[in-house]
Structure 1
């Protein structure tokens, strides 16, 4: 059964000026239920992640200051969100969602988080709407608990997974692959194990050709026994922040390639939704919904 992390807290603590792009956390589950892609049984409400698990990845001093709302004005500004107790609580529930989804993926082959993909969070700071790094926390938990030996993080959000790259820069058991807009945020890129910077305006054919050229070879080279897939839909041509030129069909084929490779290689995978900032909320929801539809088709 496809298990999906979702909680009402994903949407509600956010300030009003951030509400529009975050409406997807309310609308996406409703759409999936309405069309029959999932039922209520597919969803689980995650628990907040424990301090000890968070400190497997994030520096205890940073986590303490974040938890106690003691970040400096400069640190808060870099996150993009006004800091609040509700925001921190939301974050640790999202983190719990990806960690719990990893356990479900080991059982069922595939699991998902309606939120997550917070790849701009570093060991000691947050950036770009990310306070803690869910894929890094879940990957580290699997390694620490002996449930995975070699993790591949496939980050296909339009923005480089800079925080994830920094966290695992010295960890050979985690291979970080980021295919992203070369001229997009962040201005300063970290070094992933494999970075593929993309030119502005790249369309479906050229994008998919590049992905085909790199990803199957990574499965052979890295031989992962677990995959985390950051599947942001800010690669769409309609995205206000993306600068790329993918259609909905191209974005869906991107997801199909990743999920089919995981399925064919019998590698458990967790997908986290990442970014999406199209002008029409329907474009964001439809692109994300395609990922869930493919998960059901391929794995279940």
Structure 2
């Protein structure tokens, strides 16, 4: 982001100021990162690692989030013959330098405390564990998913689409985590895309049941990013400041049903299509909108989720814009099956291509 003109201290003339030291450092970190790497053509742009999954000492069962969801999505796709395991792309783990592109040293240091991590992921017993164990069993999986989200943008631009079977930590901003979100992967993904992909217009379609207050705060003054957020306004996080930064806000109530949901989405996408012309669409595809989800509190059917995802991918296809999908929230065991079925439907409808050359 370029600085505003500033008055020179030794002259009354106004001169254009170049990039600040912080901006130069951030750009250099992005350019030196190893997270963007060339993916062979025999791979499809579906990104996943077994390292995504969180499991240790049964503590993960104390949180409503299904921390093995990501692996089960891929298992279903492979069992159904939709996806070949050897076609999946494994990302690299985001390093500290990668994370410093957005996050401050102070925030990253705060994650070295088991107490702080336990607050962010909302599992109090984690505060009692040694930090080395918390890093390995909780934060490494998150950092691996961050690497997947960042790589997904590159693959989406190259192939037209990409799916990170993970990511979507939309409650985390540059200096604050929360709601099971420790790293701001959406913000990182976009900042990398600005520099490495030379794009300047990104649309975030956030259809998780919860308001995406993290990326909203991060891009509060950045006209390059257009945010459409459709969420249940009666539940967490109720971040009223962040709401001011949403370009297109669609607020729903608890108990919203499938037809009403899809009608509102259709109207919102029509507006978005006319008012912004993105070079990349980031789709935060939470399944916590499902009927029965204890945190989303809406009543959308599995078929409704499939239809929703199809609508979004058709939107991107109609605009001839690359799209990347993040799986985000979903707090029932059934979410993995629903996501796998939706991805299979996208393939059936030729909105994605899960077949690659041998």
Q: Which residue of structure 2 aligns with residue 200 of structure 1?
A: 254
Q: How many corresponding residue pairs?
A: 294
Please tell me whether residue 261 in structure 1 is matched to residue 312 in structure 2: no
User: Which aligned segments of 4 or more residues in structure 1 are displaced greater than 3 angstroms?
Assistant: 12-15, 73-76
Normalising to structure 1: TM-score of the pair? 0.92
Structure 1 Cα separation of the partners of residues 308 and 154 of structure 2: 25
Structure 1 Cα separation of the partners of residues 118 and 194 of structure 2: 31
- Preserved CA contact (<8 Å) 2:93 2:145: yes
CA drift of 1:266 comes to 1.3
Label 1:107 to 1:295 Cα distance change in 2 as closer, same or farther (>3 A).
farther
Structure 1 Cα separation of the partners of residues 116 and 97 of structure 2: 27
Q: Secondary structure at the match of 1:126?
A: coil
- Preserved CA contact (<8 Å) 1:53 1:141: no
Residue segments in structure 1 that go unaligned for 5+ positions in a row: none
* CA deviation map 1:138-169 (0-9, x unaligned): 11111123432100011100011011111111
- Preserved CA contact (<8 Å) 2:154 2:197: no
Q: Which residue of structure 1 aligns with residue 306 of structure 2?
A: 252
Please tell me whether residue 299 in structure 1 is matched to residue 349 in structure 2: no
Structure 2 Cα separation of the partners of residues 151 and 161 of structure 1: 15
Deviates more, 1:32-41 or 1:74-83: 74-83
CA drift of 1:44 comes to 1.2
Label 1:75 to 1:13 Cα distance change in 2 as closer, same or farther (>3 A).
closer
Among 50, 54, 69, the alignment partner of 2:95 is: 50
Please tell me whether residue 93 in structure 1 is matched to residue 135 in structure 2: no
Instruction: Find the structure with the greater CA-based Rg.
Output: 2
Residue segments in structure 2 that go unaligned for 5+ positions in a row: 1-42, 354-358
Q: Secondary structure at the match of 2:228?
A: strand
Among 106, 116, 119, the alignment partner of 1:61 is: 106
Q: Which residue of structure 2 aligns with residue 70 of structure 1?
A: 113
Label 1:196 to 1:41 Cα distance change in 2 as closer, same or farther (>3 A).
same
Q: Which residue of structure 2 aligns with residue 7 of structure 1?
A: 49
CA drift of 1:60 comes to 2.8
- What do you get for the CA RMSD once the two structures are aligned? 1.9
- Preserved CA contact (<8 Å) 1:110 1:295: no
* CA deviation map 1:8-47 (0-9, x unaligned): 1111455624247122122111110011111123311110
Q: Which residue of structure 2 aligns with residue 26 of structure 1?
A: 71
Q: Secondary structure at the match of 1:158?
A: coil
CA drift of 1:91 comes to 1.5
